[in-house]
Amino acid sequence: MPRHTEDILKEALTLPAEARAALADSLLDSLDTEVDADAEAAWQAEIHRRLAELDSQAVSLVSWSEVRSRLKSALSHER
């Protein structure tokens, strides 16, 4: 007998956050059956461009805590 969606969801929600994220990613991937070759090529070019910027130190990384702080500040100024 097939399991009900609600039962599967309940069980999935008991997984650790990382496992839930991996499951969600897999489920989303399963919905994306068409591959846009032009979009894939554009993403590959963008990835290589960004890696080259990092390797050449043309850009610098910002920690998540700094990004979060900036976002909170920007959002509080919008209110």
Q: What is the dihedral of CA 38, 60, 65, 24, to 10 degrees?
A: 20
Q: Looking at residue 52, what is its pLDDT?
A: 97
> Quick one: pLDDT at residue 1?
47
Q: Which helix (H) or strand (E) holds 37?
A: helix 37-55
Where are the domains positioned within the chain?
Answer: 37-78
Indicate the average pLDDT of the chain: 93
| pLDDT tens digit sequence for 10-63 | 999 999 999 999 999 999 999 988 889 999 999 999 999 999 999 999 999 999
Q: What is the pLDDT of residues 1-23, one digit of tens each?
A: 467 999 999 999 999 999 999 99
